[in-house]
Amino acid sequence: MRIVTVKMPETYLEAIDELVRMGRYSSRSEVIRTAIRELLRRELWESEASLEKTKRKNAKSKVIEVLREI
């Protein structure tokens, strides 16, 4: 994995820390990875539906296949 620096509001960090305190996740990193994975699935699957309608294939469809394996 690679390290990525992200700026976010303090309230987001407080909420993330609360999820960790509750035991729902083991770390801030796990919370953020989960959130990003779900965002990518939602956004790219919506794009995939449009692509299937027009029968076009492009790089996004390859990314979608990888995300399905996650």
Is 5 among the domain residues?
no
Give pLDDT, residue 43.
86
**Cα 28 to the chain's mean position, in Å?**
14
Question: Amino acid identity, residue 20?
Answer: V
Structure token digits, residue 58: 């492009």
Give pLDDT, residue 17.
98
Is 4 among the domain residues?
no
Confidence of residue 67 (pLDDT cuts 50, 70, 90): confident
Give pLDDT, residue 45.
80
CB atoms within 10 A of CB 16: 19
At 1-58, the pLDDT tens digits run 999 999 999 999 999 999 999 999 999 999 999 999 999 988 888 776 766 665 555 5
Is 30 among the domain residues?
yes
Is 25 among the domain residues?
yes
Give pLDDT, residue 35.
97
**Total structural domains within the chain:** 1
Which range marks the domain in which residue 24 is found? 10-69
Q: How far is CA 29 from CA 1, 23, 48, 49, in A?
A: 11, 14, 28, 30
